[in-house]
């Protein structure tokens, strides 16, 4: 097991990364002072890992409340969130109870948001079971649900007490989900670490084959970058915004097609290609740089061409949805672009016609 820390003074917490560490009750003991624990998971993850977690908690004489939600991004809404509150209230759970989120990004977001709201805040633990959640969404305290007009528009910053990334859970992850997680791994190399990007180009085949040592290294490096950024800018007033490379374009795809049609990582991959294309149009990247970005995502098994008119997503539809993005300031779009590979920046109020042209190019067939 390897451990690193998110340094946020009294709200700091460890990230544990390793194989089968969900079975180590010693990791949980410091965070479960009370005997009242609720586990939020979904219908897919529960048959795979809920009993393992319950066996671990049993060693601490804890029998948790099990809250099993429907699976999928389409259920990341108020109605599903309300079902968590219903279960906690019916079970008479108190403010000092602990909520454990066991699942991917959707479960982590909803479990964390529920913990932030219930009795104005209860302790919670993240146990991410997908690659995307392990390298990104479980770290940093962003919690949210979706709205029909925009992804993750309603939520809170609320830090967990611990993140436990058990790489054993990736053995049951579908290929498509694994690839989706690689989109966020690639992001860290593109925004701040060219050497990590070089390493990824060499090891993407091993990552897709689920080589345990290579996966652990990729998760470690990704979490290291995320922890450093969050410690420096917890509430996204500066550097943390760079983590949104490709996300404004990608969220438009997810919202426009309907939540769950494309996976988040798939939309981010195409969104990052669009951001790279716009960076090229602005004179920052070369054509070879854009090709390198595309090739990375292709090697990871991800799409590099967006849904165009054939899926009712013309460029002006993208732009309309992007205007609802959380990074919009005073009505003006702010996009994360690439100054060079390994260095990102925030472009305030880019030209909308140029944005639409970059989108059109990235949606062309072939």
Given 75, 76, 151, 251, which residue is catalytic?
Answer: 251
Given 42, 146, 152, 244, which residue is catalytic?
Answer: 244
Question: Do the beta carbons of residue 278 and residue 335 sit within 8 Å?
Answer: yes
Secondary structure (H, E, C), the chain: CEEEEECCHHHCEEEEEECCHHHCHHHHHHHCCCCCEEEEEECCCHHHHHHHHHHHHHCCCCCCEEEEECCCHHHCCHHHHHHHHHHHHHCCCCCCCEEEEEECHHHHHHHHHHHHHHHHCCCEEEEECCHHHHHHHCCCCEEEEEECCEEEEEEEECCCCEEEEEHHHHHHCCHHHHHHHHHHHHHHHHHHCHHHHHHHHHHHHHHHCCCHHHHHHHHHHHHHHHHHHHHHCCCCCCHHHHHHCCHHHHHHHHHHHCCCCCCHHHHHHHHHHHHHHHHHHCCCCCHHHHHHHHHHHHHCCCCCCCCCHHHCCCHHHHHHHHCCCCCCECCECEEEEEEECCEEEEEECCCHHHHHHHHHHHHCCC
Given 61, 120, 287, 364, which residue is catalytic?
Answer: 120
For the question of residue 77 being annotated catalytic, the response is no
The angle that helices 175-192 and 194-208 make with each other, rounded to 10 degrees, is 170
Given 16, 75, 76, 142, which residue is catalytic?
Answer: 142
For the question of residue 151 being annotated catalytic, the response is no
Given 16, 187, 192, 264, which residue is catalytic?
Answer: 264
For the question of residue 240 being annotated catalytic, the response is yes
Token representation of residue 188: 């860290």
Given 73, 177, 184, 266, which residue is catalytic?
Answer: 184
For the question of residue 247 being annotated catalytic, the response is yes
For the question of residue 120 being annotated catalytic, the response is yes
Phi then psi dihedrals of residue 126, to 5 deg: -100, 125
Nearest residue to 269 (alpha-carbon basis) of 181, 350, 345: 181
For the question of residue 184 being annotated catalytic, the response is yes
Given 236, 280, 334, 347, which residue is catalytic?
Answer: 236
Q: CB neighbours of 16 closer than 8 A, spacing ≥ 6?
A: 1, 2, 3, 27, 162, 163, 164, 165
Given 16, 76, 151, 240, which residue is catalytic?
Answer: 240
Phi then psi dihedrals of residue 179, to 5 deg: -60, -40
Given 75, 225, 247, 280, which residue is catalytic?
Answer: 247
Question: Would you name the residues annotated as active-site residues?
Answer: 120, 142, 184, 226, 236, 240, 244, 247, 251, 264
């Amino acid at each position: 097991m390897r451990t690193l820390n998110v340094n946020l003074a009294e709200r700091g917490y460890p990230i544990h990364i390793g194989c089968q560490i969900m079975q180590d009750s010693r990791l949980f003991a410091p965070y479960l002072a009370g005997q009242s624990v609720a586990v939020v998971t979904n219908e897919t993850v529960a048959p795979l890992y809920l009993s393992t977690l319950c066996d671990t908690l049993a060693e601490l004489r804890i029998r948790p409340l099990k809250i099993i939600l429907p699976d999928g991004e389409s259920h990341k809404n108020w109605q599903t969130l309300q079902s968590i509150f219903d279960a906690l209230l019916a079970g008479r759970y108190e403010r000092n109870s602990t909520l454990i989120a066991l699942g991917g990004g959707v479960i982590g977001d909803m479990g964390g948001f529920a913990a932030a709201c219930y009795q104005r805040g209860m302790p919670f633990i993240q146990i991410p079971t997908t690659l995307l959640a392990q390298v990104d969404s479980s770290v940093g305290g962003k919690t949210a649900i979706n709205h029909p007009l925009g992804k993750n528009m309603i939520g809170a910053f609320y830090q967990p007490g611990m993140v436990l990334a058990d790489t054993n859970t990736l053995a049951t992850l579908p290929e498509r989900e694994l690839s989706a997680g690689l989109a966020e791994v690639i992001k860290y190399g593109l925004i701040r670490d060219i050497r990590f990007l070089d390493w990824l180009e060499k090891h993407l085949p091993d990552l897709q084959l689920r080589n345990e040592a290579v996966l652990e290294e990729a998760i470690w490096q990704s979490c290291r970058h995320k922890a450093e950024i969050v410690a420096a800018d917890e509430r996204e007033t500066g550097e943390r915004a760079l983590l949104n490379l490709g996300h404004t374009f990608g969220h438009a795809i997810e919202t426009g097609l309907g939540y769950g049609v494309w996976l988040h990582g798939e939309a981010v991959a195409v969104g990052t290609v669009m951001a790279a294309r716009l960076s090229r149009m602005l004179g920052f990247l070369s054509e070879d740089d854009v090709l390198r970005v595309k090739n990375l995502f292709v090697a990871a098994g991800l799409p590099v061409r967006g849904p165009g008119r054939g899926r009712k997503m013309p460029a002006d539809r993208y732009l309309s949805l992007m205007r609802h993005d959380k990074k919009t300031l005073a009505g003006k779009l702010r996009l994360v672009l690439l100054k060079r590979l390994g260095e990102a920046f925030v472009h305030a109020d880019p030209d909308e016609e140029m944005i639409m042209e970059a989108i059109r190019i990235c949606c062309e067939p072939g």
